[in-house]
Amino acid sequence: MDRAKREKLKSKGWKTTTVGEFLELSADEERLIDLRLALSDAIKLQRQKANLTQEGLAKLLRSSQSRVAKMEAGDPSVTFDLLIKSLFKVGIDRRKLSKIIAA
């Protein structure tokens, strides 16, 4: 949200906050969510670069299209282990993975 809009809302009595503050997340919880989303975004990007459909990636992973959709959406039911294995399967190496994590 831009500064002008934030000031306008504040002048009308509204309070703006971050998602983390609103949900009362700890800093560690926020970092985990950010990491999950970064990994999920990377899977989708790499899948598209490889010209794979979700179904095609699912076959490579011996999984289902709906599971791939959940991975790409950052669904909390998907483990970090599966996200990382999937990235390796679509061609991300350790160095690229470390850049995703560091970003």
Instruction: Name the pLDDT band for 15 (thresholds 50, 70, 90).
Output: confident
Q: Report helix, strand or coil for 77.
A: coil
Q: What is the pLDDT of residues 53-62, one digit of tens each?
A: 999 999 999 9
Q: What is the pLDDT of residues 32-71, one digit of tens each?
A: 999 999 999 999 999 999 999 999 999 999 999 999 999 9
Compute the distance between CA of residue 46 and CA of residue 90 in angstroms, rounded to an integer: 6
**Torsion angle, CA of 23/26/41/58, rounded to 10 degrees?**
-90
Regarding the domain with residue range 26-102, which homologous superfamily does it belong to in the CATH classification?
A: lambda repressor-like DNA-binding domains (1.10.260.40)
